[in-house]
């Protein structure tokens, strides 16, 4: 019997689960490398400089900065595309579902940051309050995928929406609080470039080359302006047009392809229909589909390889580590569940179908998997190497514990719920 085709969301969850596994493996390799007898080669790799020249201009950055400022801009471009899609035609387009995700994400950002700051206020690690605020969607959905059908689809949809709102909040935090100084000349050039991209999007520019060129120029100007270069990815994403597909465009061609005829004639009709369906996709959908494998299999693993190599020393775990762990392991679940409960209690939101509050607690615990975004913010928050090491160790330990505790909680509560349902029959 032929297998049933997967829905787009099921395919997305499957790919994200594999992305989570790939991130785990790459992070373990980096961690072992940084704590092996060859640890110096790891540091050398991070700080090897590579340059690009164009005429008399030269841009020279270390591999670490090329990854964190360059490749991660592509990751943030994909994040921006997902945010725009969800806001316009996805889960966040529904007012009640959006309200639930926004309320849960707000609680899941404010409380972890507050707990971290209470522990580090007045100390050298105070600037790291943004580290425990975001959720790593690849890891979190990967854990849910491992639990299989015992987890309702509504919980996976909620966690996806929560992580997307989290990412939007993280972008705003980076732009507003982790920018040291601004070069107004380059900021103006970035604004003009973004305006050109916005105009191209409003006019319905379909070619990906247009956005690639404008995106590269925008990235350079944002980098030189003093804002973090990854902001360019989100800015570009919001210029890419999206539209709902119009079935009327290809119904006639579908009927034509179904007419009887010789094999080669029918084959030609089907190829024409395939080309028409490809053109019917909006630029945003085409760009998102093109970027997703590259980000999954290249950008995020390379980021993990460059950033997860934390050398464990005698003083590696400190108050910054405890602040990050407190925020991710306690602040996240309390904030997420508390924000969602307040929204449902106020009557402006409701839980997804078949999702219980026990499920929501499990999702709150899993949202404490901060890995990618938390490591990224750590690099922005700390110039001091010792504090950065403390933050990264806190992120790694908290993410592992959140994954284990969240999975364990959902296994136990799902088994209990199944037993209760069976006894009620």
Can you give the pLDDT at residue 88?
A: 81
Measured in whole angstroms, the distance separating CA 48 from the mean position of its chain's CA atoms is 27
Within a domain: 169: yes
The alpha carbon dihedral of 308, 364, 102, 173 has a sign of negative
Phi, psi for 422 (deg, rounded to 5): -65, -40
Can you give the pLDDT at residue 424?
A: 41
> Which tokens go with 344?
């449902």
Rounded Cα gap, residues 82 and 66, in angstroms:
23
Can you give the pLDDT at residue 421?
A: 46
Within a domain: 345: yes
Long-range contacts of 201-210 (CB under 8 A, 24+ apart): 201/239, 201/240, 201/241, 201/283, 202/241, 204/241, 205/241, 205/283, 206/283, 208/283, 208/286, 208/287, 208/290
Can you give the pLDDT at residue 264?
A: 53
Can you give the pLDDT at residue 134?
A: 82
Can you give the pLDDT at residue 63?
A: 92
Q: What angle do CA 255, 261, 266 make, to 5 degrees?
A: 65
Q: How far apart are the first and last CA of the chain?
A: 32
What pLDDT band is residue 41 in, cutting at 50, 70 and 90? very high
Helix ranges restricted to H, 60-152: 63-65, 72-89, 95-120, 137-146
Within a domain: 409: yes
Please give the residue that has the higher pLDDT: either 28 or 164.
Answer: 28
Please give the residue that has the higher pLDDT: either 317 or 331.
Answer: 331
What pLDDT band is residue 5 in, cutting at 50, 70 and 90? low
Give me the CATH number covering residue 323: 1.20.1530.10
Can you give the pLDDT at residue 207?
A: 81
What pLDDT band is residue 289 in, cutting at 50, 70 and 90? confident
Mean pLDDT to the nearest integer, 324-352: 94
Within a domain: 148: yes
Whether the predicted pLDDT of 17 surpasses 70: no
Rounded Cα gap, residues 207 and 283, in angstroms:
8
pLDDT in tens, 179-230: 777 888 999 999 999 999 999 988 877 788 899 999 999 999 999 888 888 8
Whether the predicted pLDDT of 406 surpasses 60: yes
Distances (CA, A) of 155 to 60, 211, 275, 349, 417: 45, 35, 36, 15, 15
Within a domain: 62: no
Distances (CA, A) of 156 to 11, 87, 307, 359: 12, 17, 28, 10
Whether the predicted pLDDT of 18 surpasses 80: no
Highest mean pLDDT among 11-15, 85-89, 132-136, 259-263: 132-136
Mean pLDDT to the nearest integer, 3-21: 58
Within a domain: 395: yes
Can you give the pLDDT at residue 259?
A: 57
Whether the predicted pLDDT of 257 surpasses 80: no
Within a domain: 173: yes
Q: What angle do CA 118, 124, 129 make, to 5 degrees?
A: 45
Helix ranges restricted to H, 327-384: 332-345, 357-366, 371-381
Can you give the pLDDT at residue 422?
A: 45
Name the CA radius of gyration of the chain, rounded. Answer: 23
Mean pLDDT to the nearest integer, 46-62: 83
Q: What angle do CA 130, 77, 109 make, to 5 degrees?
A: 25
Tell me the percentage of the chain whose pLDDT exceeds 90: 37
**Residue 129: DSSP 8-state:** G
- Of 150-154, 255-259, 343-347, the range with the lowest mean pLDDT is 255-259
The whole domain housing 357 covers: 19-47+95-179+292-419
Within a domain: 224: no
**Residue 67: DSSP 8-state:** I
Task: Return mean pLDDT, the chain.
Answer: 82
14-47 in b/e burial notation, b at 16+ Cβ within 10 A?
Answer: ebbbebbebbbebbeebbebbeeeeeeebeeebe
What pLDDT band is residue 102 in, cutting at 50, 70 and 90? very high
pLDDT in tens, 354-400: 889 999 999 999 999 988 889 889 988 998 988 999 999 999 999 99
Whether the predicted pLDDT of 1 surpasses 50: no
Structural domains counted in the chain: 1
Whether the predicted pLDDT of 60 surpasses 80: yes
Can you give the pLDDT at residue 145?
A: 75
Rounded Cα gap, residues 144 and 120, in angstroms:
33
Dihedral through CA 256, CA 257, CA 263, CA 267, nearest 10?
130
> Which tokens go with 124?
């050298």
- Of 183-187, 277-281, 413-417, the range with the lowest mean pLDDT is 277-281
Rounded Cα gap, residues 250 and 255, in angstroms:
9
Distances (CA, A) of 375 to 220, 258, 304, 405: 23, 53, 9, 21
Tell me the percentage of the chain whose pLDDT exceeds 70: 81
CA-based nearest residue to 189, from 144, 220, 143, 164: 220
Confidence (pTM): 0.77
Measured in whole angstroms, the distance separating CA 396 from the mean position of its chain's CA atoms is 17
CA-based nearest residue to 75, from 27, 23, 33: 23
Can you give the pLDDT at residue 425?
A: 42
151 sits in the region (left: phi over 0; alpha: psi -120 to 50; else beta) called beta
Whether the predicted pLDDT of 66 surpasses 60: yes
């Amino acid at each position: 019997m032929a297998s049933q085709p997967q829905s787009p969301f099921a395919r997305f969850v499957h790919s994200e689960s594999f992305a989570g596994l790939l991130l785990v493996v790459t992070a373990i390799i980096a961690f072992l490398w940084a704590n092996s007898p060859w640890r110096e080669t790891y540091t050398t790799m991070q700080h090897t400089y590579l340059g690009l020249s164009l005429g008399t201009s030269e841009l020279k950055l270390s591999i670490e900065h090329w990854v964190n400022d360059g490749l991660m801009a592509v990751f943030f471009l994909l994040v921006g595309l997902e945010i725009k899609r969800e806001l316009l035609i996805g889960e966040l387009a529904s007012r009640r579902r959006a309200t639930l995700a926004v309320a849960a994400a707000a609680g899941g950002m404010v409380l972890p940051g507050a707990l971290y700051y209470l522990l580090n206020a007045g100390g050298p690690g105070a600037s790291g309050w943004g580290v425990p605020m975001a959720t790593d969607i690849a890891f979190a959905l990967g854990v849910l995928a491992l639990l299989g059908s015992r987890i309702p689809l509504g919980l996976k949809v909620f966690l996806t929406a929560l992580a997307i709102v989290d990412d939007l909040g993280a972008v705003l935090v980076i732009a507003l609080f982790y920018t040291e100084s601004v070069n107004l000349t380059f900021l103006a050039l970035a604004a003009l470039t973004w305006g050109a991209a916005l105009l191209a999007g409003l006019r319905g520019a379909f070619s990906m080359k247009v956005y690639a060129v404008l995106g590269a120029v925008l990235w350079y100007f944002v980098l030189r302006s003093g804002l973090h270069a990854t902001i360019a990815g989100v800015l570009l994403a919001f210029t890419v047009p999206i539209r709902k597909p119009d079935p009327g465009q290809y119904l006639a061609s579908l009927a034509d392809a179904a007419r009887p005829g010789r094999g080669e004639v029918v084959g030609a009709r089907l190829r024409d229909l395939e080309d028409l369906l490809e053109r019917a996709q909006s630029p945003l959908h085409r760009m998102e589909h093109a970027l997703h494998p590259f980000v999954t299999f290249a950008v995020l693993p390379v980021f993990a390889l460059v950033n997860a190599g934390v050398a464990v020393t005698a003083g590696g775990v400190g108050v910054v580590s405890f602040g990050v762990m407190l925020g991710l392991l306690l602040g996240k679940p309390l904030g997420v569940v508390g924000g969602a409960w307040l929204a449902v209690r106020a009557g402006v939101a409701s839980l997804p179908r078949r999702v219980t509050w026990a499920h929501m607690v499990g999702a709150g615990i899993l949202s404490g998997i901060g890995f990618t975004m938390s490591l990224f913010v750590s690099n922005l928050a700390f110039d001091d190497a010792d504090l950065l090491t403390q933050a990264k160790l806190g992120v790694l330990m908290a993410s592992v514990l959140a994954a284990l505790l969240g999975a364990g909680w959902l296994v136990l509560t799902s088994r209990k719920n199944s037993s209760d349902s069976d006894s009620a029959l």
